[in-house]
Amino acid sequence: MTEKNSAGILGTGFCVPEKKLTNFDLEKMVNTSDDWIVERTGIHERRIVSRDIATSHLAFKAAQMALEDANIQPEELDLIIVATITPDRVVPSVACVLQDRLGARNAAAFDLTAACSGFIYASSVAAQFIETGVYKKVLVIGAEALSKFVDWQDRNTCVIFADGAGAAVYGQVEKGYGMLSFELGADGSGSEYINIPAGGSLNPASEETVKERMHYLHMNGKEVYRFSVKVMGETILRSLKKADMEKEDIDWLVPHQANIRIIKTGAKRLRLPMNKVIVNIDKYGNTSAASIPIALAEAAHNKKFKKGDILAFSGFGAGLTWASCILKWAREE
């Protein structure tokens, strides 16, 4: 039996819009306050795209940074996967738009929809292609322009969600490094807890759906919080077991930036001090599929990780979906 390759991260990148929307700005728009938002979410500000910027624009800049960091040319890419729930259009995929814009003429391309778990889902797909030797270089991007789908009259969602993109180039790394295990999960019985009711084949766009505000993101915050607190730690424990590791082996936790209370609860369950948890929700809010790769890339470029560090990723969100992976950092910083 042929020994499989080891698939790891060769380079990272991220992009967030220039425009900052603070809690004090939101106080002027909806019935909320800075204290209320910070206490319940940990968010102080978030980044919002301008009217003429789409998800693909953010993905492109993050991709450029990741390719440069990995010292990889676009022509070397075999595959591009974009994890997003806010594509530029229903068709074509953001990945195909990006493939052309990057000049990655040799790459296959597709989008993947798993909401806030999307980057880990896409990374697990990339790892399989590399481990089996089918592909050598795969670009994975989590990118969102959630502000285009947020109801700015709904304080339960507009204070949380934001825009951005994070990217990672996956390729073959030293044996024993890279992705060691992953776990993917879903519970479709909770599909109504986070959804955009209209715009698909169930409720095509019409004058009525627009009037009923059905093209905006709807969320049952109480149920989502209950689900997230439970699943964040559990999925990491299952990934650790697959990697034949213990909680004590984790050097860094890179969680989905959904809510600081959820992050702290997960860290406590894993017995990790908060100085070993990558947190940037205070600056960027919840960027769904982009949140983990943004946190990862920002930390990597700030030289947080050293070769051999064990990183645990955890994502959870609409679907309902969840995912985690254990990765041994392979780069010499």
* Active-site residue set: 116, 256, 286
Q: Which of 48, 80, 86, 40 is nearest to 64 (CA)?
A: 80
Structure tokens at 229: 């607190």
Cis peptide before 293 (omega within 30 of 0): no
With b for 16 or more beta-carbon neighbours within 10 A and e for fewer, the 91-127 pattern comes to eebbbbbbbeebebeebbbebbebbbbbbbbbbbbbb
| Contact between 138 and 170 (Cβ < 8 Å) | yes
**CA distance linking residue 256 with residue 238, whole number of Å:** 17
Residue entry with tokens 């017995």: 271
Helices (H) and strands (E) in the chain, counts: 11, 13
Structure tokens at 332: 């010499």
Alpha-carbon distances of 305 from 124, 171, 270, 301, rounded to whole Å: 21, 18, 19, 9
